[in-house]
Amino acid sequence: MPPTRTSMTPAEWAMLVALSVLWGGSFFFNGVAVKELPALTIVFSRVALAALTLHLVMAATGRKLPAGRDAWFAFAGMGLLNNVIPFSLIVWGQGHIASGVASILNATTPLFTVLAAHVVTSDEKLTPLRVGGVIAGFAGVAVMLGAGKLAGAPVLAYAACLGAALSYGLASVHGRRFRALGIQPMAVATGQLTMSSLIMAPMMLVVDRPWTLTLPGPHTMLAIIGLATISTALAYLLFFRILNGAGATNISLVTFLIPPSAILLGIMFLGEVLLPRHVAGMALIGLGLALVDGRLVSKKKPLPS
């Protein structure tokens, strides 16, 4: 397998920004759904509907999922690390803390990703530059949150969101194997969501007993549909396309972009105000992205003598 690039192309940066908006919306959709539905029911509905959507797309485009055992074991591992564990932890956490806070805690994912990639991979080793970029980006997230916002909040809810970030970091490294297996992004997204649905179904039936729940209202139903189709099916097509070319560490940068994208969307559509700490935080996040990407301090070619 050819080594992973340490910097991203302009097209990959554009996809990364688009992905941050799609996943930023997932925190909003979760915040709506969690008011009427329990966590495992939300997660199962999300992955099952997203899997169905992608299977229909696969059928319409004449594509097929691989039949090999290695591929389906990889799908199961990816579904567990990238869907079942983090989705469940985040949705449960959002039942106790605000969606914006959950998205900010999710921005710790690159901290876990660079450490996991350093241990597991041979071409995404930890460097002082990348460490500095991750620290700068996380500092920007902290600045955006502001001082004193964590006081009095449920500790377990914060721990759940941090646990989800750890799982996402491990998933980004695990997902590299699909490149070696030669599986295309569409098939990877469909396969992992299929396995996630199979894993979640018995858990949801035993814990939530959905037949005892009250039928949710239209806003919750629309939130589940948006969560599955926009923030999951479409988002994972972008995720695996970026991961296939730019690697685990670069794809983890999307978590830095989710909080500022949520703020910008709030300003445009909800009349929210951009505070000075938001500007300062986004500046630090931009610096962190540049440092991890490596272009900011790339070596210049020597002048001809």
Cβ atoms < 10 Å from Cβ of 279: 13
pLDDT by residue, tens only, the chain of 305 residues:
445 555 678 888 888 889 888 988 888 888 888 889 999 999 999 999 999 999 999 999 899 999 888 899 999 999 999 999 999 999 998 888 777 778 878 887 877 777 777 777 766 677 888 888 878 888 887 887 676 555 555 778 888 988 998 898 888 888 778 877 888 888 988 999 999 999 999 999 999 999 999 999 999 999 999 999 999 999 888 887 887 777 766 777 787 788 777 677 667 765 656 678 777 877 887 787 777 766 556 554 454 44
In angstroms, the CA 295 to CA 289 distance is 10
Residue 301 domain-assigned?
no
- The answer to the question of residue 52 being in a domain is yes
Q: Report the C-alpha gap between 113 and 90 in whole angstroms.
A: 18
Q: Is residue 240 part of a domain?
A: yes
Phi, psi of 298 (to 5 degrees): -65, 145
What CA–CA distance (Å, rounded) separates 280 from 146?
Answer: 11
Domain containing residue 180: 10-293
pLDDT of residue 153: 56
> What's the predicted TM-score (pTM) here?
0.79
Residue 53 falls inside a structural domain:
yes
179 in helix, strand or coil?
helix
Residue 172 placed within a domain: yes
Do residues 83 and 50 touch, judged by C-beta distance below 8 A? Answer: no
Domain assignment of residue 302, yes or no: no
Does the residue 250 lie in any domain?
yes
Report how many domains make up the chain.
Answer: 1
How many whole angstroms separate alpha carbon 26 and alpha carbon 232?
8
**Quick one: pLDDT at residue 90?**
92
pLDDT at position 119, please? 77
Asked if residue 246 lies in contact with residue 252, where contact means CB atoms within 8 angstroms, the answer is no
42-56 burial code (b ≥16 CB/10 A, e <16): bbbbbbbbbbbbbbe
Is 3 among the domain residues? no
